[in-house]
Homo-oligomer: A and B are copies of this chain.
Amino acid sequence: MKNETRSAEANVVSSEKLLSHWQEHRRLTRKVLLAFPEDKFFTYSVGGMRPMAELAMEIIGMSMPGVYGLATGQWEVPDRPEVNFSMKPPATRAEVLKLWDETTEVINKVWPQITAERFNQTDKAFGMYEGPVHWHQFYFVDNEIHHRAQAYVYLRSLGIEPPTFWDRF
């Protein structure tokens, strides 16, 4: 920070807060995964969109390699190239949840390796999308909120009350 009074250029949000914000949303999304009846989790759709299981796999397949990418510039999980955002769902929701919880742990483990400087470096996420590292991290969270909200409509149209949006704890 060169000048405390120029708030536009000052960094104002910490890495720790960004991690917390991400994990808050992941906790809410996990509740949404559990709100579906098991069969609907894999099959139910509105407007021809993907069912919850496939959306969950996209989120897992973006977040787990994504946090490595944020930290290192290598947009993959070491020794597990199959974890990517076109991953197909496993056979049961329990297996999806296992991958979900593993992702949560990987994010917590890898996150502290993202240096303060790294957040404002430019990188090509997954070799495809160029932008600042913090922007990619925001994208992961935004994308999760976006797909989870689809699932809210699926649940409502099934007559199921979804978890409240602010219940991230």
Contacts and interface: CB of A to CB of B under 8 A. Distances in A.
A48 B46 CA distance: 14
A156 B18 contact: no
A17 B166 CA distance: 24
Interface string A78-114: 0000000000000000000000000000000000101
Question: A1, A10, A120: which has the most chain B beta carbons within 10 Å?
Answer: A10
Contact of A14 (B12, B150, B155, B157): B12
Copies in the complex: 2
A10 B4 contact: no
Band of interface residues on A? 35 or more
Contact of A12 (B18, B141, B145, B148): B18
A21 B134 CA distance: 10
A149 interface: yes
A155 B47 CA distance: 8
Contacts of A156: 46-49
Contact of A1 (B47, B116, B141): B116
Interface of A: 1, 4, 7-19, 21, 25, 46-49, 112, 114-116, 118-120, 129, 132, 134-135, 138-139, 141-143, 145-150, 152-158, 165-166
